[in-house]
Structure 1
Amino acid sequence: MKQVNASLQDAESFDYVIVGSGAAGSILANRLSVDGSTVCLLEAGPPDRSLFLHMPAGYIKSVFNPKYAWQFSSEPTELTNGRRIPVPQGRTLGGSTSINGLVYNRGQRADFDHWAELGNPGWSYEDVLPYFKSMERRTGGDDRYRGRSGELPVSDIDWIHPICEAFIKGAVDSGLPRNPDYNGAEQAGVGYFQRTIDNGWRMSTAKTFLGPARSRPNLHVKTYAQATRILFEGRKAIGVAYVHPGRQSEPKAVLARREVIIACGAINTPKLLQLSGLGSAPFLQSRGIEVVHELRGVGENLSDHYSVRAVVKVKNSQTMNELVKGMNLGGQLLRWALKKPSILALSPSLVHYFCKSSPELALPDMQGVFTPASYKEGYVGMLDDFPGMTAGIWQHRPESRGYVRIKSADPFEDPMIQPNYLEHPNDQNTLVRGIRLARKLLRSRALDQYFDKETLPGELCESDDELLSFAKRYGVSSYHVNGTARMGAADDRFAVVDHELRVHGVQSLRVVDSSVMPSMPSANVCAATMMIANKASDLIRKR
């Protein structure tokens, strides 16, 4: 700490210091620098120069590359068959928007109305819809719900495979409506995903929001700058200490005249808060951390979507498994270079199905994904050696809750991550029903000509206990972690930020990322995180 204090004499000073350049941080940097305010954006990882960060199919090369992604994993439990589940998070400009699955999915109206009902005024669906719309550039859909002139292109798939059409027909025949816009009036139904892809390229927040703002002289972006501690005077945040990851003995600091804004995501944000003395006092003291202010909720309330995939071997058709090999891959590369539809410009999942696990439910409580490809042991990243298709499923609103906790005062040690997947009995029951539905859709009459045999979970797996055992063995994270610095009123003892995202009990400090979500949205969390940042920029500038 003496080294950091000594560096304060020469520290640069800005109006705002933002930690993290992902789904939230890049948007904040754009919005807060537009009026001339000085902004410093700290990113722990490198610039986003790799082709694999810009080619949509490049996620396979980047998501498990420690240069561009934090290689976090969950703590093993009996409910995950003793496995550590990988939970990678982006570590480059654009954060996870530079490595994710590119799906654009806002969630249901009820998700945001519930946030408001929990004591967070200004976060109902009608409140947040303008912020979704203002950042979105979308062709198609209803003007009441969709934005037309924002920075973020949201496109439809342009590569149509007959197996996808057959899957959709089978789902419609089974009772699911074909839904042309799940981000519009209703989510329920089946259809093609909308993606953050434009003209064959990934549209990360670094590309769409940060890039256009980089020419502003008042915006300063520092890569290879890992934040190690928020600096306080009493209970007022005044800056951030950071280091170059390869130069851990040379700490530096940047100071904030107005606010420090933490946008590191649902794992790194609670880690940084705890390292900085915000959290449960007994816990922090056990880790040798001096307490600045006790906030029991820091790191608690962790939630994630636990997904399971059913896999079928395909006959009578090529699938993506074959199209990425040999001459086929060369042809796809050529098509991509010529701006023609290509598998290299696809999201990993092509088709969605939003459905109910029980008919008495008012709204879908499950999300399914389908693609004419299959992966070894159902894990996205390594394609099977045979033609395959995959239907995945997860529960929208899991009731299991976990935590993120630092292991020590060492800022370079990964924290303990425990989502407690499947801990709640309802999560187990819902997922088993979801697996049954995924298998049913794969066996629809419309897919008969393509169905060869089921490889996962396999023909002999039939009972609820067997399906649950399969889920424990093969389930994976959907990388939708959230909730670890949740929003709530001051009298909520586990709330970390208020409805304006200001950290309770301290001054000049906000959290703006998926960690503030008070409950899990019924969606991939990226779109909602971008909306949070878009809205937060107005909350911050109105001061």
Structure 2
Amino acid sequence: MQNEFDYIVIGGGSAGCVLAGRLTEDPNISVCLIEAGGDGNNWTVNVPAATVISLPTKINNWAFETVPQAGLNGRKGYQPRGKGLGGSSNINAMIYIRGNQADYDHWASLGNTGWSYQEVLPYFIKSENNASLQNKYHGNTGPLSVSNLRTDNPLHQRYIAAAQAEGYNVLDDFNGAEQEGLGVYQVTHVNGERCSVSRGYLQPHLNRPNLTVLSHAVTHKILIENKIAIGAEIHHTGQIKQIKATKEVLLCAGAIQSPQILMLSGIGPEQELKKHGIDCVHSLSGVGQNFHDHPDFIFGYTVKEIQGTFGISMSGSLDMFKQIQRYRRERKGMITSNFAECGGFLKSDPSLSIPNLQLHFVVALVDDHARKFHASHGVSYHVCLLNPRSRGSIQLSGPKISDPLKIDPNFLADEQDLEDLVQGFKLTQKLMQSPALSEIYKQDLFTADVKSDDDIRAILRQRVDTVYHPVGSCKMGVDDMAVVNPQLQVYGIQNLRVVDASIMPNVINGNTNAPVVMIAEKAVDLIRQYYLQQQVA
């Protein structure tokens, strides 16, 4: 096997697929993409509703666990992360959200030149192939297919009626001029099937002679000589191998595993490395710090009529058989569902400049990430805090890639996070009690006895967990805790960049997959510009 390439991309998730697909557009550039999971191209990925199989299990999923969370009554949280080419775009709810325009302007205000909203918008547009929206905010020729849902779910109309009754704006585009409001989400679909980032960016180009993809290949560490990244040590086909990069190593292992690989390579907080007998190649205090995530609470109700909901019943089983047949014929119906079909963005306080809450309306009963089973048909309502103040960390437990990580999002450590979620609880509950929705309920499973603010605080600590948006553990910036500069280059190490959600200084106000694709699209331009400048010099 060839063991020398221009670029080595570590991690075949959303960012890694974009980098591999884009960089190999140049036939003179060779790329090796290293992925610990499989090829990400099977029915458990491509059939949208099959995410119910992957999310609670280790199918296509690393299925990480956090350390006990003091803010959650000492509970351990769950951190699903996609495993296989396509990464978390293989198991997510496919919701296409970019975040708020102010998110990126804030990044730029922190010294991250080139990352303002107007500067990143062209990369969102470049990546997108939107089937229905055609305006200055959207792209219609990119690799990532975005479309309206094809479920024909009657509950959409109920949700919109409830939103209107409560006086909220109803939006058909959360990625345009305005984010505040409620409606039906657009999703990364192509003809009713999941458009993972691998399907959009990588799979069409697997026959390129300058692209080598190694699946089931676990990266042990980045090889560094004289503070220059020169390759990676991997375990592949039962052997330890060293692969060399003549230009750069691009680390795309995600907010949980990118800091792990950096630390195992000797890059990170010196005391943390010494504790595990790892030689410190370069002391970088911010590696593994600034880790944070959207804390999320879920309401759950059983329903009187099963139409439009998932669950187990005699009539539901008959309907599901019909839905499967419809999916095979038309690629429409409930099997195309992303479950979290409706939602939107609200403010916990009208004086806020931008929304700080996101809602997800799910057409099934969800309890503990679908790991606690309820046979009943039902609906669930998520409310998450978009801009948490709490910060945690990713730490090692040992010097090997197989040693479990200490994952600590530090949920609700900041009291204001809890108070903001109390308001979010009340707003969401008020929306859910609107007649258009409340008339379908049979039983409130989790919050029937919640009356006072103290009751709300108690149940939040009892039930809050992730909504799957971990970021920040290798943050981009110009301060002492930054890991990468605004060109995504790791401080103190040449020829090494981090390109994934870990570089976000602050989590964006929304779902994180589309922003990761944008980050990778921008990284491709940064890389190309760097080498053009080198040639000129």
1: CA distance, partners of 2:347 / 2:278: 46
1: CA distance, partners of 2:157 / 2:373: 21
Task: Specify the alignment match of 1:7 in structure 2.
Answer: none
Q: Report SS of the residue matched to 2:212.
A: strand
Task: Specify the alignment match of 2:410 in structure 1.
Answer: 420
AA of the residue aligned to 1:150: G
Give the alignment partner of residue 445 of structure 2, picking from 439, 455, 473.
Answer: 455
- Greater Cα offset, 429-438 or 258-267: 429-438
CA-to-partner distance for each residue in 1:270-291, whole Å, 9 max, x for gaps?
Answer: 0000000011111111111101
Question: Per-residue deviation at 1:124?
Answer: 0.3
1: CA distance, partners of 2:135 / 2:40: 33
Equivalent residues, number: 527
Give the alignment partner of residue 529 of structure 1, picking from 506, 516, 526.
Answer: 516
1: CA distance, partners of 2:234 / 2:438: 58
CA distance 1:48–1:139, change in 2 (3 Å): closer
- Contact 1:79–1:423, Cα closer than 8 Å, also in 2: yes
Q: Report SS of the residue matched to 2:77.
A: coil
CA-to-partner distance for each residue in 1:282-317, whole Å, 9 max, x for gaps?
Answer: 111111110111110000000111111112222245
2: CA distance, partners of 1:529 / 1:216: 24
1:32 to 2:23 alignment: yes
2: CA distance, partners of 1:389 / 1:288: 50
- Contact 1:316–1:449, Cα closer than 8 Å, also in 2: no
Task: Specify the alignment match of 2:365 in structure 1.
Answer: 374
- Contact 1:310–1:378, Cα closer than 8 Å, also in 2: no
1: CA distance, partners of 2:83 / 2:155: 35
Task: Specify the alignment match of 1:114 in structure 2.
Answer: 106
- Contact 1:40–1:221, Cα closer than 8 Å, also in 2: yes
Q: Report SS of the residue matched to 1:44.
A: coil
Task: Specify the alignment match of 1:363 in structure 2.
Answer: 354
Q: How does 1:97-176 map to 2 (within 5 A)?
A: 97-176=89-168
CA distance 1:148–1:49, change in 2 (3 Å): closer
CA distance 1:187–1:200, change in 2 (3 Å): same
Give the alignment partner of residue 301 of structure 2, picking from 312, 324, 330.
Answer: 312
CA distance 1:378–1:228, change in 2 (3 Å): closer
TM-score by length of 2: 0.95
2: CA distance, partners of 1:232 / 1:532: 25
2: CA distance, partners of 1:78 / 1:448: 34
Task: Specify the alignment match of 1:214 in structure 2.
Answer: 206
Q: Report SS of the residue matched to 2:323.
A: helix
CA-to-partner distance for each residue in 1:87-111, whole Å, 9 max, x for gaps?
Answer: 0111101111111111111001000
Question: Per-residue deviation at 1:394?
Answer: 0.3
Give the alignment partner of residue 329 of structure 2, picking from 334, 338, 354.
Answer: 338
- Greater Cα offset, 160-169 or 414-423: 160-169
CA-to-partner distance for each residue in 1:391-416, whole Å, 9 max, x for gaps?
Answer: 11001111100000111101111210
- Greater Cα offset, 385-394 or 187-196: 385-394
1:471 to 2:460 alignment: yes
Question: Per-residue deviation at 1:213?
Answer: 1.6
1: CA distance, partners of 2:373 / 2:148: 24
Q: How does 1:181-330 map to 2 (within 5 A)?
A: 181-244=173-236, 247=238, 250-322=239-311, 325-330=316-321
Question: Per-residue deviation at 1:66?
Answer: 2.6
Q: Report SS of the residue matched to 1:466.
A: helix
Unaligned runs of 5+ in 1: 1-9
1:484 to 2:473 alignment: yes
Give the alignment partner of residue 54 of structure 1, picking from 46, 69, 79.
Answer: 46
Q: Report SS of the residue matched to 2:359.
A: strand
Q: Report SS of the residue matched to 1:112.
A: helix
2: CA distance, partners of 1:323 / 1:228: 44
AA of the residue aligned to 1:306: P
1: CA distance, partners of 2:446 / 2:230: 53
Task: Specify the alignment match of 1:499 in structure 2.
Answer: 486
Question: Per-residue deviation at 1:471?
Answer: 1.4
Task: Specify the alignment match of 1:42 in structure 2.
Answer: 34
AA of the residue aligned to 1:530: V
1:384 to 2:404 alignment: no
2: CA distance, partners of 1:161 / 1:326: 17
Question: Per-residue deviation at 1:478?
Answer: 1.1
1:514 to 2:487 alignment: no
1: CA distance, partners of 2:318 / 2:286: 54
1:350 to 2:349 alignment: no
Give the alignment partner of residue 22 of structure 1, picking from 13, 26, 35.
Answer: 13
AA of the residue aligned to 1:45: G
Percentage of matched positions with identical amino acids: 36
AA of the residue aligned to 2:409: P
Task: Specify the alignment match of 1:5 in structure 2.
Answer: none
- Contact 1:191–1:351, Cα closer than 8 Å, also in 2: yes
Q: Report SS of the residue matched to 2:14.
A: coil
- Contact 1:42–1:221, Cα closer than 8 Å, also in 2: yes
- Contact 2:312–2:376, Cα closer than 8 Å, also in 1: no
Task: Specify the alignment match of 1:3 in structure 2.
Answer: none
CA-to-partner distance for each residue in 1:29-56, whole Å, 9 max, x for gaps?
Answer: 0111111200000001112243111111
Question: Per-residue deviation at 1:452?
Answer: 3.0
Question: Per-residue deviation at 1:58?
Answer: 1.0
TM-score by length of 1: 0.94
2: CA distance, partners of 1:34 / 1:379: 39
RMSD (Å) for aligned C-alpha atoms: 1.6
- Contact 1:512–1:532, Cα closer than 8 Å, also in 2: yes
Task: Specify the alignment match of 1:6 in structure 2.
Answer: none
CA-to-partner distance for each residue in 1:2-22, whole Å, 9 max, x for gaps?
Answer: xxxxxxxx9710000000111
Q: How does 1:402-421 map to 2 (within 5 A)?
A: 402-421=392-411
1: CA distance, partners of 2:24 / 2:306: 52
2: CA distance, partners of 1:448 / 1:233: 63
2: CA distance, partners of 1:373 / 1:115: 36
Task: Specify the alignment match of 1:400 in structure 2.
Answer: 390
AA of the residue aligned to 1:38: S
2: CA distance, partners of 1:166 / 1:152: 30
- Contact 2:312–2:377, Cα closer than 8 Å, also in 1: no
CA distance 1:156–1:319, change in 2 (3 Å): closer
